[in-house]
Chain A
Amino acid sequence: MNFKDRDIISIHDFSKQELLFILKIAKSMEKKPNLDLLKDKVLATLFFEPSTRTRLSFISAMEQLSGKVIGFSNTGSTSIKKGETLWDTIKMVDAYSDAIAIRHPVEGAARLAAEASSKPVINAGDGANQHPTQTMLDLYTIQKVKGKLDSLHIGMLGDLKYGRTVHSLATALSHFNPTFYFIAPPALQMPQTYLDELKEKKIKFYTAADLLKVSKKLDVLYVTRIQKERFPDPVEYEKYKGVYKLDTSLLPNIKKDLKIMHPLPRVGEIDQSLDATKHAVYFEQAANGIHVRKALLALVLGKI
């Protein structure tokens, strides 16, 4: 499989075989970090929107492979403030770097950047649309902590309406015969278009507002934050913030080997009392981002 110069824009662009191949390379990165693989290569990290984990893990991944990083995390100090278009910004950065990682608040920005650039572009999040490297690290984590991806009972909890991570993860897991449990207040449930997609693929799914109704069935529980920034109306946000708060009282109602994931940051959905339990894998999940991003960088830069 050749990924040289390939753009990583949307999870929809990847077949099951391609996803498994990326996970395999990520595993080899974890086992044996190839320290000089990207020597003399330059990654541009263009963050038009705030990010901690994603930006730092791209930088760290690149530097661990001996590559260099340029970029910005605040558009205030750039020509974008002067009204430069995204297209022009990318055309300029294209000349300075070998690959581009971009996060942008507008949906479709990463796809446009890939069209403007002759270098591989990696989408690090475009508005509420896609965040494929997050999805890949989520898959990697599930495979690692459960030993498989096939036929798992996966719960997704929280903001399923606006949460791009759950949308992309549901799409990616659809390759692996899952049973889904979507747990959210009715107003924040999985959008119908995703449910229709699952029906078409003959994937089993259930919806519930109460976690305890389904918690005993779950192999993995993927918790998401109610995202203030995605709500068009702040009053709506106030209604739903804090609607789920997982703590140790959940433990009698779950399987012994349930793993709890979260893309982080959390703002109270998971109490710290759960952190020390064997169920919590969210910090490990964040750490896995490095292996997956190293794999992707090495692949698109043609070094694997």
Chain B
Amino acid sequence: MKKELSISAIKEGSVIDHIPSNVTLKVVDILDLKGIRGIISIATNLSSKAMGKKGIIKISGKDLTKEEVDKIALIAPHATVNIISKYDVKQKIKVAIPSTINRIIKCSNPNCITNNEKVATKFYVLGKDPLKVVCHYCERNMEKEDISLL
């Protein structure tokens, strides 16, 4: 039987693969997709040998930024990002939680200076699995359930 791709290949752009199904739409939320003129394909609940179910997002005409890849790492630490050029994989990026997380998450402490003045947030990663970070400013420790993206 001919194997069919659930969503078609793209010529130029980014493919985010191996996203746990339950966070596929969250990954869509954190990407800056405004103004993208190419085709954006989103599929989830696809069968995956390794993961059971997975999601995949293909964005034509957009190379993901470092900040976007870091954000993906926070909610889908095992995802892969492929940058596509002329239908070929130009670069394969294994997302990884950085040791310092700049700007992309919000401090859970309402009395932190970052929630009281215009200051870019900064966190140091204490543990990656499970994710645990400490705020550079107020020194509050945050675990996965306390972490929300900006």
Residues of chain A whose beta carbon lies under 8 Å from any beta carbon of chain B: 10, 12, 85-87, 105-109, 111-112, 126-130, 193
Contacts and interface: CB of A to CB of B under 8 A. Distances in A.
B134 to A, nearest CB: 9
B113 interface: yes
A10 B139 contact: yes
Contact of B116 (A10, A12, A106, A130): A106
A172 B135 CA distance: 19
A129 B114 CA distance: 14
A108 B137 contact: yes
Nearest to A127: B111
Contacts of A105: 111
Given A107-B138, A107-B139, A108-B138, A87 B111 contact: no
B44 interface: no
Interface SS majority for chain B: loop
Contact of A111 (B118, B136, B140): B136
B8 to A, nearest CB: 48
Contacts of B50: none
21 contacts: A10-B139, A12-B139, A85-B117, A86-B113, A86-B117, A87-B119, A106-B111, A106-B112, A106-B116, A107-B109, A107-B112, A107-B113, A107-B139, A109-B113, A111-B113, A112-B119, A127-B111, A127-B138, A128-B111, A129-B139, A193-B141
B138 A129 contact: yes
B112 A108 contact: yes
Contacts of A106: 111-113, 116
A175 to B, nearest CB: 18
A107 B118 contact: no
A107 B111 contact: yes
A105 B138 CA distance: 11
Contacts of B136: 108, 111
